Amino acid sequence: MTEPKPDMFQNAGQHVATRPAQSRSAKKGDEWIDDLVGALTDPIIVYPSGWQDTLPDWIKPQITMERLIMNIRVLKEGGVPVGDTEALAYIYPRTMEAPMIEQWYRIYMYVFNQAMKLKKTEVPEDLKSEKLSDYDMEHLNELKRWIYGRRVKHRKEKARAELREGLQVKEGAEAEELETSSVQPSFF
């Protein structure tokens, strides 16, 4: 699923308003289960680009694993169940199109390093980025909340479509039953 995040890479000096992350403990059990199932079934949201189909093969299973880990972490600490690998998957296609502003380069290198750490792959010294400023971290968290919102929106739209399809099948079966029942009773 690909929907562009408006002006994500152009807002270099602008402050982006953020909402506090919703605590998982405040959510109902059904919503937590939906998030857990969503960790396995939600689409990977990527920046819409000609490069969106070029994600490395290792990244997709790592996103699923990290979503499960993040769901447990969010249950205890609050926040949103989107990890650094998922943020990396979103930003990656954008990096292939044109150079990004310095802020998003720092964020990209940070999430890349975190994903490599989870993958247990050593990163060369000149590419290491272990820490973000509070300002950059705020933007990364905003991106994660936005990605999570797109995932939930897709999940709800899919559930509504399945419900509509189920109702149409049911109505079709009832109409077929009415058609096949004879109008005049048979006596023989």
Mean of the per-residue pLDDT values for the chain? 83
Question: Is the model more confident about 14 or about 141?
Answer: 141
Say how far apart CA 43 and CA 151 lie, in whole Å: 7
**pLDDT score recorded for residue 157:** 93
CB atoms within 10 A of CB 177: 9
User: Which residue intervals of the chain are DSSP H helices?
Assistant: 29-41, 59-77, 84-95, 102-119, 134-180
For residue 55, give the H/E element and its range.
Answer: none
Global pTM reads 0.74
**pLDDT given at position 14:** 39
pLDDT digits (tens, 9 = 90+) for 42-96: 999 999 999 999 999 999 999 999 999 999 999 899 888 999 999 999 999 999 9
Say how far apart CA 63 and CA 81 lie, in whole Å.
11
pLDDT of residue 149: 95
Q: Is 24 a residue whose pLDDT tops 50? A: no
How far apart, in whole angstroms, are the C-alpha atoms of residue 15 and residue 12?
Answer: 9
- Residue of 122 and 33 predicted with greater confidence: 122
pLDDT at 8: 58
